[in-house]
Structure 1
């Protein structure tokens, strides 16, 4: 563990957690600007996206077989073992982001628009979801970087769709541990994607740099989300969350056929259980947020 940070599973008092909710909201307001409810967007995130779009980067060459991506990005019809690494990585990113899109769409529809009477928790939840919708636009820019202009977010099967619609109404004591672990899984996945980019995209340095820029915009928010969701957990919830990390990670990643061809799942599980702020890529933590009880000194 880093000499400057405590574990994300460090115990915290209710007073510490209450203060951290207020601190997180202040961070989100500074980082995001005004919320644009009708567009499920945030003013400063929109400015950042506009800057990327005003200076587009495209790979020197399209994928060797773009139709293979479109044929398999929702579910594999071909043999993933026969696919090139770029296609595998992009279809894998799509599948993870698609789960995110389904979950945030259900939660947004279940929530209420912000008003002057909205509580701190209401504001945190709404800003969190708006940030996730901003991430979907960044993922779309990743795909466009590789000339994939026909990507759409496709619903899951009816049973899984129903599960996602039910999740927002589950009582917090049951929902909070898996919600935190879900955020931890997402960040761990993005960190492992980041570590692959130089190898998988070695022949496309400009595209690699742009994808990393887009990915790290997402990671900055996701790191803050990990701390924010951890802040919902009391002592029992924290112990439960840590206990379910291995089974949660393995179950989710097992459902994505690209995973064994790209990642070391056992390493991802260990990185989740032993999450360390000190092992983040440079510049991420400096632009993000972490709970005060995870800081040393």
Structure 2
């Protein structure tokens, strides 16, 4: 039977057999090596991703005008010091992007130190994890490009408070079943953010068409990977993990977005929770789905 298109209406929380899941780890590993190329351990980078980054950097795009008040971005990008309702929408978007990416950076830094190198990996899932983390470091470089698109060249990636870093460390040492559910919800939450960002770009950056399309292109590179991460993390979960994950969606979403005051002004959080709880591949725009990895048990057979 040939695989055609992902069916709309089949929930991401739908069951899969142990055999299907084992086969899909193999499928994902083949996909990763083809898409990403060689893993460069010392650089925490992937050969093909570095080439993508170089293409963006060789053809830089800058907004027609700098932010009206760039000092307000720099005052609020690490910690929101002003009333976020007083920031213009572009500045609000950019401070959110920084905070969102910063959370990812801290999480992957803790995980990178806790996982074996590719050479030392004995299990397929360890090899996949190493590639997965290297992809995330590549995403950080793309986020930095987004900020530079708006002439923000003094951005520093400031560590989160020690207690937050310790919390991420605890996350990497959770029991496997619980960690799989939490990691899945984290990936689902991140991808939901990319969907929402794509929807608000036209309005938020209406007067900066070139910068808008550059940001959209950078986000698209990240979103294709992140959609694969959603499928990968779904593949780790058995029946209990799926049930636990579905119950985690609402509290994890609210806790995460509560930490970023910009989120409630940019997005409909309640709608995002509902979309995540009812997520299926039929809701993904075709241009985002193209090139992404989807577990085979979500594809229609003919």
The answer (yes or no) to whether the contact 1:60–1:204 under 8 Å persists in 2 is yes
* Total equivalences in the alignment: 296
The C-alpha deviation readout for 1:102-133, integer Å capped at 9, x for no partner, is 00000001112111763211110000000000
Where do 1:232-271 residues align within 5 Å?
Answer: 232-271=236-275
Q: What is the CA RMSD across the aligned residues, in angstroms?
A: 1.2
Are 2:123 and 1:123 aligned? no
Q: Determine the structure 1 residue equivalent to 2:72.
A: 68
Pairing partner for 2:92 from 83, 88, 93: 88
What does 1:49-198 align with in structure 2 at a 5 Å threshold? 49-115=53-119, 118-198=122-202
- Provide the C-alpha distance between the structure 1 equivalents of 2:129 and 2:15, rounded to a whole number of angstroms: 23
Which consecutive residues of structure 2, in runs of 5 or more, have no partner in the other structure? Answer: 1-5
* Alignment match, 2:3: none
- Work out which of the residue numbers 194, 214, 217 in structure 2 matches 1:213: 217
Tell me if 1:293 matches 2:300. Answer: no
Q: Residue 282 of structure 1: which of 266, 278, 286 is its match?
A: 286
Distance 1:257 1:293, change over 3 A: same
Bigger mean CA deviation after superposition, 146-155 or 199-208: 146-155
Q: CA 1:107/1:3 → structure 2, altered by over 3 Å: closer, same or farther?
A: closer
Residue 244 of structure 1 deviates from its aligned partner by 1.3
Q: 5+ residue gaps in structure 1?
A: none
